[in-house]
Amino acid sequence: MKTIVVIPTYNEIENIEAIINAVLQAVPDIHVLIVDDNSPDGTSQKVQEMMADEQRIHLITRPGKQGLGTAYCAGFKYCLEQGFEAICEMDADFSHDPKDLPRLIKALDDNYDLVIGSRYVSGVNVVNWPLRRLILSYGASIYTRIVTGLKIKDTTGGFKCFRASMLKQIDLDRINSNGYGFQIEMNYKVWKKGGRIKEESIIFIDRRSGVSKMNKSIIFEAIFLVWKLRFTPKKKL
């Protein structure tokens, strides 16, 4: 499958070069798309430099910080237009190990529509997170399962691969959630459209450098979103 990984970035100058190289090394022939919101630290410029020697790197630079959800959607649309068959997403901060990519892609190839790199499929595989952050993330997954019926153990993780034919069935212009909510919304829509979903166990490690972009509004968004999803008629998803 022609495969690409979408990595949204905002001020990831400390990670960008290493993460791109690690991804390109982990999977032969894989492409990488960086969706950068014109980071003041020069992340886009660094990517441009790397693009001069490597055709597998793609870049979308947006005019300013517009949030994670819209960054993914812009990236997904680009990948679909370019004819990629497997479209993955991951963070730039090494919380997601590029070495897990082959396993996720292989699972997708084994006839799944969405493969989720899951922290909670075999116990709790999270390293270096403060307890309150873990409780928040684990709790969000339980809450989502109860409200929506979605049978996924890690509903908020951002390390996953979609089959392009599945992604095409989702109206990306109708997605308006951003942080955790975005991941929940995509999982829910794949499930409701009859997509086959697999959780592959991964170990998640807290960002090793750079600054967190987590904030409270992301949590409130997710709390209300799951109820909205539950009561949205299937044909409007």
Ligand X SMILES: Nc1nc2c(ncn2[C@@H]2O[C@H](COP(=O)(O)OP(=O)(O)OP(=O)(O)O)[C@@H](O)[C@H]2O)c(=O)[nH]1
Q: What are the strands, taking DSSP E only, across the chain?
A: 3-9, 31-36, 57-61, 86-89, 114-118, 126-127, 160-163, 197-201, 204-205
Residue 68 binding partner per list Mg ion, ligand X, none, with a CB distance cut-off of 5 to 8 Å that depends on partner kind: ligand X
Residues 85-124 that bind Mg ion (CB under 5 A): 91, 93, 95
- Binding residues for Mg ion, how many (CB under 5 A)? 4
- Select the residue interacting with ligand X from 4, 5, 6, 10 (CB under 6 A): 10
Between CA 212 and CA 177 the distance in angstroms is: 19
Residue 9 binding partner per list ligand X, Mg ion, none, with a CB distance cut-off of 5 to 8 Å that depends on partner kind: ligand X
**Nearer to ligand X (CB atom), residue 93 or residue 185:** 93
Residue 35 binding partner per list Mg ion, ligand X, none, with a CB distance cut-off of 5 to 8 Å that depends on partner kind: ligand X
Q: Retrieve residue 228's tokens.
A: 């909205």
Between CA 200 and CA 121 the distance in angstroms is: 7
Asked whether position 221 contacts ligand X by CB under 6 A, the answer is no
- Select the residue interacting with ligand X from 190, 198, 207, 222 (CB under 6 A): 207
Between CA 114 and CA 167 the distance in angstroms is: 9
- Select the residue interacting with ligand X from 14, 37, 89, 113 (CB under 6 A): 37
- Select the residue interacting with ligand X from 8, 98, 157, 195 (CB under 6 A): 8
Between CA 204 and CA 120 the distance in angstroms is: 10
Residue 65 binding partner per list Mg ion, ligand X, none, with a CB distance cut-off of 5 to 8 Å that depends on partner kind: ligand X
**Nearer to Mg ion (CB atom), residue 91 or residue 154:** 91
Sort strands 204-205 and 126-127 into parallel, antiparallel or unpaired. parallel
Between CA 201 and CA 48 the distance in angstroms is: 33
Residues 87-126 that bind ligand X (CB under 6 A): 91-93, 95
Asked whether position 214 contacts ligand X by CB under 6 A, the answer is yes
Residue 200 binding partner per list Mg ion, ligand X, none, with a CB distance cut-off of 5 to 8 Å that depends on partner kind: none
Between CA 18 and CA 231 the distance in angstroms is: 43
Contacts of 127 (CB under 8 A, 6+ apart): 203, 204, 205, 206
Number of Cβ atoms within 10 Å of the Cβ of 17: 15
Applying CB under 6 A, the span of 25-33, 35-43, 81-89, 184-192 interacting with ligand X comes to 35-43
Widest CA span in the chain: 49
Asked whether position 68 contacts ligand X by CB under 6 A, the answer is yes
CB of 107 to Mg ion, least distance (A): 23
The binding site for ligand X (CB under 6 A) comprises 8-10, 12, 35-37, 65, 67-68, 71, 91-93, 95, 207, 212-214
